[in-house]
């Protein structure tokens, strides 16, 4: 990306970090924001003037969620034995509310089939797919000592929607299925 492109778009990515123009920097002058490169040992190194550029976390929200693309990616990842399984599981869990019933049913049935055929990957991969399956399954309204929560059942425990925090059944006062599920 050239300096001119940076002026037009006001954003660039370097080593996985997204940068945007600092709105408080004022006019950048005739040469635009300061983003220069030089070569050290024949490798380009970017010099970033912090007065004009602000680091920002990379946001998944820059592109809209597409359930079909997510489903194709899920199919690609199911059965793989790499870190991509965890990444895909987290992506599906984080976007579960945007996945329609048809795709939920397909994902759950494909996870079940892969696990049954022992084609879902290593044991740690199977656990990730079970987390996805639990999050895409019907939810329960669960009352504990400090209030009501929407939770999902997995491995005998009731998990919050992020599938990271859970309640042991002994801590639960009352359980009500959501959406008429049993």
pLDDT (tens digit per residue) in 124-151: 999 999 999 999 998 888 888 778 888 8
Q: Indicate if the pLDDT at residue 14 is higher than 90.
A: no
Domain ranges of the chain: 3-58, 61-136, 140-177
Query: What was the pLDDT predicted at 145?
Result: 79
Of the candidates 19, 45, 46, the residue with the CA atom closest to the CA atom of residue 35: 46
> For the chain, first and last CA: distance in Å?
55
> In the predicted model, what is the mean pLDDT of residues 76-91?
91
Tens digits of residue pLDDT in 98-109: 999 999 999 999
Give the Cα separation of 128 and 158 in Å (integer): 16
Where is mean pLDDT largest: 31-35, 159-163, 169-173?
169-173
Average pLDDT of 69-83?
92
């Amino acid at each position: 990306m050239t300096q001119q492109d940076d002026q037009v778009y006001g954003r660039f990515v370097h080593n996985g970090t997204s940068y945007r123009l600092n709105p408080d920097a004022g006019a950048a002058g005739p040469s635009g924001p300061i983003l220069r490169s030089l070569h050290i040992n024949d490798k380009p190194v970017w010099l970033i003037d912090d007065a004009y550029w602000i680091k920002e976390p990379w946001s998944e929200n820059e592109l809209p969620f597409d359930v079909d693309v997510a489903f194709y990616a899920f199919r690609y990842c199911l059965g793989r034995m790499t870190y991509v399984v965890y990444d895909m599981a987290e992506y599906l869990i984080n976007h579960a509310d945007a996945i329609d019933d048809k795709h939920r049913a397909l994902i759950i049935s494909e996870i079940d089939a892969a696990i049954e055929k022992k084609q879902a990957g290593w044991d740690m991969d199977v656990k990730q797919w079970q987390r996805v399956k639990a999050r895409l399954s019907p939810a329960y309204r669960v009352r504990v000592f400090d209030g009501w929560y929407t939770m999902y059942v997995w491995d005998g425990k009731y998990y919050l929607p992020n599938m990271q925090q859970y309640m042991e059944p002994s801590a639960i006062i009352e359980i009500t299925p959501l959406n008429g599920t049993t």
